[in-house]
Chain A
């Protein structure tokens, strides 16, 4: 259940990347991957640190995925922007 929460958070926040200039590495699909992978990574880090079971979820489980999503998006954006700068 926790994995479902993290995944959904990643997908939900990804939808708002349409408001950011599309400089993501791999475009909107790259952003999708960045958001989802980031969400899952911080989710799992939280899960490992807290010692909670994957079946038990609460609002903190959800919040744990947000930094990962933002970091994932930022990382994909940074790679994309750097590539664009190089190409220019």
Chain B
């Protein structure tokens, strides 16, 4: 297939993809994350249950399935449930604003057991004798637990609900429960700072075979006119752990209503074939015991109810109901064929939830809530609006910049960016990728990556055009030479995205996935599509004009700066900046956000104005724990509304859940509670975020170092790492100096900086790698200087494009995006700078220690007494220039003023000492495959050759003049060859 036909085929394919993308975009809805849509996110950590003391992957998978079933059954649309690490589960519930109910729906273990009550109750010896033994409970949990701890470990018929002892933690002073029951002592401390036992606390062990259950006390409410019962404080019972049936013995649970009286909701269920006889047996035993204990003459059911015994249904260690088995009505027990019912003090919602839980089954593991956050729908919409504005504005600015700088090429690149945006958006909907705020940031950054791919190629094209090639061949060569660089750089970005996706927490995962998909899509559009467009129109008149392509062939003075020579000044500057950063770290530290510090932060817009003291008093009155130590302040937050208060403190998710009702009761929350933001992060989750970030950085660096070592050379990898460390430390230092909050979004930004810095350094090093074989006699510093002068324009343009994009994020982005953008702005500036002024000089210093480059340097120094900044300035080049002057002509571009626009410029390429080993770039032969440069090893033969050819110190004037004439003859000869070639 000819190249034109192939290009046409690619264009047709792209047009087809564009149409398909439009169809996808129009037909599918974008899946928005919680931060853009509003909703509740819960993060759980799996813990063993009494029945399952070892958690494996299968357990977590089964728990995820059960949670999905529960959320589906409860009508939550598009829930996202995912595993985090080995034992973490994130549950994202879009549009759900009531976090408390969500927690109850999702995290309830729903372990159900039925006990024959009386024989299993271990009575409280301290209650009056008048109290029946099976009603002798404890008012405080600690008393019940202490009594239980005195029992001997035993497990009747191996039928216990626990696999070992269980541990409780109590406050030694207040005797209030702090944690438990847990299988391991260490699990008691997970919610405490440092996961250590808090001071003044007491651990109590309850042996296997005994359990402590709670039961809400039912009280008559004297203030209500009705006879409805109200739930009072908990009462605690110690039971021998001998359940008669478990949740596995029941089937078909349904929410129903009591048959008698008002519409009181209950849960009815049937028994399995195995459960039915068990139920009949236990109820018969209860009935017979009741009859035996009743005085003679009890014949009516009403009388019998006073003496009948109970069985108890216990759900997650709480007695939900304790019905009697009336021995008059059911003398032989209850036939399980008719099923049974659970009648507790449920409201309709609770009864429905319980029925669903029983239907779906119990969780095989216990779920410990370690993080909880709720975003209101209004804030989500605003964030989406800001994110889309930022994306659109970023795209337009980059388009305008590319068109202004590259003219027609810029228009084609712009077309590529538009096609890219369409493809990317379609992919987001097709996969589907849940679009989050960090995801939008990733999307905007990929616009920068896509633009850079074009910039790298266009700069190459301009170099080729200035070297005298025809535009058609310049375009072909530009793409051919640029593609390797782009692939290397994009692989680096993909590695970063991959590591982020695997290791990071959920918010950052969205960003990483977007970045990865975007990078692949941008490779396609920026390389394949734009090349096909240029290939098809390559012979058009407008594409033949270098001016229209922004690639004027006029001589322009390019960067002529001794980058490596000046590195000491840049090193000093970086050293000073880092020292300031170190002082800031030491004195100010980093303002770590709640993601890392753990605790709860609530922002609420109150209906009625309230002072800080009013809010504290209201929380205290409502019994919110730690209300006295919570940090409460009035804050200005127009997004939330008026009378905004912020409450922050070390509150567990359970404790934090009590704040909203307290605020609603005392002051009301504006707009029906929409203006309420809540984030709770447990210490475990904060540590996970920090640990995953550190792991992501370390693994990214290792993988990228490996890639660099394979694609380049091991020595190229180390300066890259040093430059990345430099950029990350400078960015973190700026955060410390200005006191900006470091959130998990900032971590994503830091990791993006890592990717960007690597990307930029790879582009620069790629040119160094390319120039090494072309300059076989030049000192490494000269090679680096020349490479820098060639790529600095690209680095500046890319840096500028990215800064435009980040600037847009800073202006239009919401609070989250702005925090992200600040880190990115500093990081991109530092990344661009460090690629040239840190990584390259470090590489130079390291490579120049190699014997080969040391020898080259020595030879040049011997010849000239110094090593010039650029290879063109080596001694014979100067002689060549002088000779040209003597002849009355203008000095060639190889003179001391380095005005060479291109490495392929047909100047005197064989200037001795400059050692340009390229073929001279014959414009007429541009379409043909140029002769590959012959790499010369830096040691050995090449070195000897340098010394032989280099004319320098120790030679007579006559010898030097001869050498200069030889050089001139060679230059003239080559000039004739090129001229001849062009005519041909």
Which chain A residues have a beta carbon within 8 Å of chain B's beta carbons? 1, 4-5, 7-9, 11-16, 18-19, 22, 27-29, 32, 57-59, 61-62
Contacts and interface: CB of A to CB of B under 8 A. Distances in A.
Given A13-B579, A18-B572, A29-B722, 15 more contacts: A1-B589, A8-B578, A9-B582, A11-B729, A12-B578, A12-B579, A14-B575, A16-B575, A27-B846, A29-B846, A32-B722, A58-B587, A62-B583, A62-B585, A62-B586
A1 to B, nearest CB: 6
A19 B845 CA distance: 12
B732 A4 contact: yes
**7 residue pairs, one from A and one from B, having the closest CB atoms:** A15-B575, A12-B578, A8-B582, A62-B586, A28-B845, A12-B579, A18-B568
B722 A1 contact: no
5 contacts: A1-B585, A4-B585, A15-B575, A22-B849, A57-B585
Mostly, the B contact residues are helix
A82 B254 CA distance: 85
A62 B582 contact: yes
Interface in B703-744: 718-719, 722, 725-726, 729, 732-733
Contacts of A29: 718-719, 722, 842, 846
Nearest to A56: B589
A18 B567 contact: yes
Nearest to A65: B582
B265 interface: no
Given A11-B725, A16-B571, A27 B582 contact: no
Given A8-B578, A16-B575, A28-B845, A59 B567 contact: no
A29 B733 CA distance: 23
Contacts of A13: 575, 579
Interface of B: 567-568, 571-572, 574-576, 578-579, 581-583, 585-587, 589-590, 718-719, 722, 725-726, 729, 732-733, 841-842, 845-846, 849
A27 B845 contact: yes
Nearest to B726: A11
A57 B846 CA distance: 35
B589 A57 contact: yes
A15 B718 contact: no
Most buried by B among A5, A12, A13: A12
A22 B853 CA distance: 15
A22 B841 CA distance: 13
Contacts of A15: 571-572, 574-575, 578
B568 A61 contact: no
Contacts of A58: 586-587
A66 B874 CA distance: 42
A29 B95 CA distance: 53
B571 A18 contact: yes
B579 A19 contact: no
Given A8-B578, A15-B575, A16-B572, A22 B845 contact: yes
A27 B581 contact: no
A11 B578 contact: yes
A12 B575 contact: yes
A65 to B, nearest CB: 8
A56 B841 CA distance: 36
Contacts of A61: 586
Contacts of B579: 9, 12-13
Contacts of B841: 18
Nearest to A13: B575
B572 A1 contact: no
A4 B590 CA distance: 10
Given A18-B567, A29-B846, A59 B575 contact: no
Nearest to A64: B586
A56 B817 CA distance: 30
Contacts of A18: 567-568, 571-572, 841, 845
A11 B567 CA distance: 16
Contacts of A16: 571-572, 575
A31 B962 CA distance: 46
Contacts of A1: 585, 589-590
B632 to A, nearest CB: 25
A5 to B, nearest CB: 5
A45 to B, nearest CB: 17
B526 to A, nearest CB: 34
Nearest to B722: A32
Contacts of A32: 722
A11 B572 CA distance: 12
B845 A12 contact: no
A58 B587 CA distance: 5
A29 B715 CA distance: 10
Contacts of A11: 578, 725-726, 729
Contacts of A28: 842, 845-846
A58 B585 CA distance: 8
Contacts of B585: 1, 4-5, 8, 57, 62
A8 B586 CA distance: 10
B587 A12 contact: no
Contacts of A8: 578, 581-582, 585, 729, 733
A50 B732 CA distance: 26
A50 to B, nearest CB: 14
A33 B954 CA distance: 41
A57 to B, nearest CB: 5
Contact of A5 (B575, B582, B718): B582
Contacts of B571: 15-16, 18
Nearest to A60: B586
Contacts of B589: 1, 57
